[in-house]
Chains A and B, each alone.
Chain A
Amino acid sequence: MAEPFLIGEAMTGGYGGADILHACTIAVEKGQIAVIVGPNGAGKSTAMKAVFGMLRLRAGHVKLAGEDITALSPQARVAKGMGFVPQTHNIFTSMTVEENLEMGAFIRTDDFSDTLAQVYDLFPILKQKRLQPAGELSGGQRQQVAVGRALMTRPKVLMLDEPTAGVSPIVMDELFDRIIEVARTGISILMVEQNARQALEIADKGYVLVQGANRFTDTGKALLADPEVRRSFLGG
């Protein structure tokens, strides 16, 4: 099998003290959705941050389209085509929706009005509220701004850290629909999710992490069907 589009292979490391990740491997294929699930404190977000270069790895490496990017800073990875939506503080609250999107495109020197139009097509509510400060929007709308901001660089991979944290179930379903739409345009999605069941339903690939190591790795459907995964992590 060819190497996946983005892979963090056998990553070991932490924030300085003890290791949080232990030879953890996360990968996503082109245009597919990969989801990281697991109990609290399993190192889900940490694994994602490691792939994005926000913590130093003691062992293992990260490859994007075959190129080793382990030594690159997060900013350099953005320039290489990775988009990242942090879990919290992921928008500029005092700036308008449109300014948020403009800032997302900051590293682009070309005309980005077509990308802006695409983001507005994907999230029509943002077009309606484009002159409103992003901090005044509802939780779900803020998440749309956050995802839109990350899409402005036209990334090849979009990484989402718990995109549905703190939004209502209805908004959650809508956000998942949008994420599927993004994946259909050929953008790979790597996502950490608290709502494991719903996330695995839309996942091409699922990673169940426990204590910073891979416990189960399979397609989303297979994991949902696996009795042990169901019993241990999905509440039966």
Chain B
Amino acid sequence: MDILNALVVFLNFVFVPGLAYGAQLALGALGVTLIYGILRFSNFAHGDTMALGTMVTILFTWWFQSMGISFGVLPTALLALPIGIAVTALFVLGTDRVVYRFYRKQKAAPVILVMVSLGVMFVMNGIVRLIIGVDDQNFVDGSRFVIAAGDFREMTGLAEGLAIKTTQVVTVVTALVVMGLLFWFLQKTRTGKSMRAFSDNEDLALLSGINPDRVVAVTWIIAAALATIAGVLYGLDKSFRPFVYFQLLLPIFAAAIVGGLGSPLGAIAGGFLIAFSEVMVTYAWKKVVTYLVPESMAPEGLLQLMGTDYKFAVSFAILILVLIFMPTGLFKGKSV
């Protein structure tokens, strides 16, 4: 029995990657939940908004790198991130003006807006692929590890190593800062409160003189920023491939719905819940268990519940269970 080594393996392969992935999903789900709460539809284009923002950030990162600009130990992409956010915000504001506003003026049913967002998704999808292609793009630089597995072994004398990547730390820290700012904005500022009021009771908000156009515009800008940040962090942590971002739509929606659509706190909880479920169900527990049980009982199989290829089945299963048994989610959002 070797509890310490088991713990290190668990941290290294489950907890740390799950934490980073959860932070990425949470940021994505926050965008989805804001759009749902205020514009009142499920935005299927959110995954591709992430891809677009990430693509713009990558292009500027490459440009910065070619000019020799770097951010020391941190990835250069963080310097390009504000530009990515600005371009994406302009893009979604343009989309709103050209597409969504027309349907909003007609007071179109939410399901129509969902279909509209599907169309927007395909267009964004095409734009991203035309510009950057369908292949994997790597844009990470800066130092690779905060703690490398070898150093950790040397430091502690344990058999197992714990590696913490710079991108994982960047992801978690950025996510915390962004969430903190978002909550401060929604709870304390006049504009943030007016957004919550609009989400809570649109008619009464209009009656109180809250300008709907302004609320909608600010919502799009925040959603674009959240999507771009989530996309860039995911791309840094793993890699950027447009198709993967499209697929991320499922765990992100699962996170938003599990948490309760329209509830920002729920989106964060949902993001981590989905991420940890995915990682834990698809992780082969053999090593951890081997450390924990007497040698004679060491397992022969991998102790993996599901292959990683099936990871989306996990979000899908959770999504269905929640919709059946708890349609408003953990934090009492709006029912779908």
Interface flag for A207 (CB, 8 Å): no
Interface flag for A113 (CB, 8 Å): no
- CB pair A94–B209 under 8 Å, yes or no, is no
Type the 1/0 row for B193-232, where 1 means its CB is closer than 8 Å to any CB of A.
Answer: 1101101110111111110000000000000000000000
- CB pair A74–B204 under 8 Å, yes or no, is no
List the B side residues contacting A153 at CB < 8 Å: 209
Interface size class of A (residues with CB under 8 A): 20 to 34
Q: Which residues of A (50-99) have their CB < 8 Å from a CB of B? A: 74-75, 78-79, 84, 86, 89-95, 99
- Tell me, in angstroms, the Cα distance from A107 to B196 when the chains sit together: 16
List the B side residues contacting A95 at CB < 8 Å: 193, 196-197, 200
Given A99-B196, A106-B194, 18 extra CB contacts under 8 A: A78-B207, A78-B209, A84-B207, A86-B204, A91-B204, A92-B197, A92-B201, A92-B205, A94-B196, A95-B196, A99-B193, A99-B197, A102-B193, A103-B208, A106-B190, A106-B197, A107-B209, A149-B204
List the A side residues contacting B207 at CB < 8 Å: 74-75, 78, 84, 86
How far, in Å, is A94 (CB) from chain B's closest CB? 5
Interface size class of B (residues with CB under 8 A): 10 to 19
In the assembled complex, 30 residue pairs joining A and B whose CB atoms fall closer than 8 Å, in A order, are A74-B206, A74-B207, A75-B206, A78-B207, A78-B208, A79-B209, A89-B201, A89-B204, A91-B201, A91-B204, A92-B196, A92-B197, A92-B201, A92-B204, A93-B201, A95-B196, A95-B197, A99-B193, A99-B197, A103-B194, A103-B205, A103-B210, A104-B208, A106-B194, A106-B208, A106-B210, A107-B208, A149-B204, A149-B208, A153-B209
Q: Which residues of A (162-179) have their CB < 8 Å from a CB of B? A: none
* Residues of A bordering B, CB below 8 Å: 74-75, 78-79, 84, 86, 89-95, 99, 102-104, 106-107, 149, 153
List the A side residues contacting B210 at CB < 8 Å: 103, 106
List the B side residues contacting A84 at CB < 8 Å: 207
User: Which 6 interchain pairs have the tightest Cβ spacing?
Assistant: A107-B209, A92-B200, A103-B197, A106-B208, A94-B200, A106-B209
List the A side residues contacting B194 at CB < 8 Å: 103, 106
- CB pair B204–A90 under 8 Å, yes or no, is yes
- Tell me, in angstroms, the Cα distance from A90 to B197 when the chains sit together: 12
- Tell me, in angstroms, the Cα distance from A79 to B210 when the chains sit together: 12
Q: Which B residue sits closest to A78, measured CB to CB? A: B209
List the A side residues contacting B205 at CB < 8 Å: 92, 103
How far, in Å, is A99 (CB) from chain B's closest CB? 6
How far, in Å, is A97 (CB) from chain B's closest CB? 13
Q: Which A residue sits closest to B205, measured CB to CB? A: A103
How far, in Å, is A203 (CB) from chain B's closest CB? 25
- Tell me, in angstroms, the Cα distance from A104 to B210 when the chains sit together: 9
List the B side residues contacting A107 at CB < 8 Å: 208-209
- Tell me, in angstroms, the Cα distance from A79 to B206 when the chains sit together: 12
Q: A103-B197, A106-B194 are in contact. Are A89 and B206 (CB under 8 A)?
A: no
- Tell me, in angstroms, the Cα distance from A8 to B208 when the chains sit together: 22
- Tell me, in angstroms, the Cα distance from A62 to B108 when the chains sit together: 31
Q: Which B residue sits closest to A134, measured CB to CB? A: B200
- Tell me, in angstroms, the Cα distance from A107 to B205 when the chains sit together: 11
List the B side residues contacting A79 at CB < 8 Å: 209
Among B203, B204, B205, chain A packs the most CB atoms within 10 A around the CB of: B204
- Tell me, in angstroms, the Cα distance from A91 to B207 when the chains sit together: 11
Among B190, B206, B207, B209, chain A packs the most CB atoms within 10 A around the CB of: B207
Type the 1/0 row for B168-210, where 1 means its CB is closer than 8 Å to any CB of A.
Answer: 0000000000000000000000100110110111011111111
- Tell me, in angstroms, the Cα distance from A84 to B207 when the chains sit together: 8
- CB pair A75–B196 under 8 Å, yes or no, is no
How far, in Å, is A171 (CB) from chain B's closest CB? 22
- CB pair B193–A75 under 8 Å, yes or no, is no
- Tell me, in angstroms, the Cα distance from A95 to B208 when the chains sit together: 14
List the B side residues contacting A92 at CB < 8 Å: 196-197, 200-201, 204-205
- Tell me, in angstroms, the Cα distance from A86 to B202 when the chains sit together: 13
- Tell me, in angstroms, the Cα distance from A103 to B195 when the chains sit together: 10
List the A side residues contacting B203 at CB < 8 Å: 86, 89
- CB pair A103–B206 under 8 Å, yes or no, is no
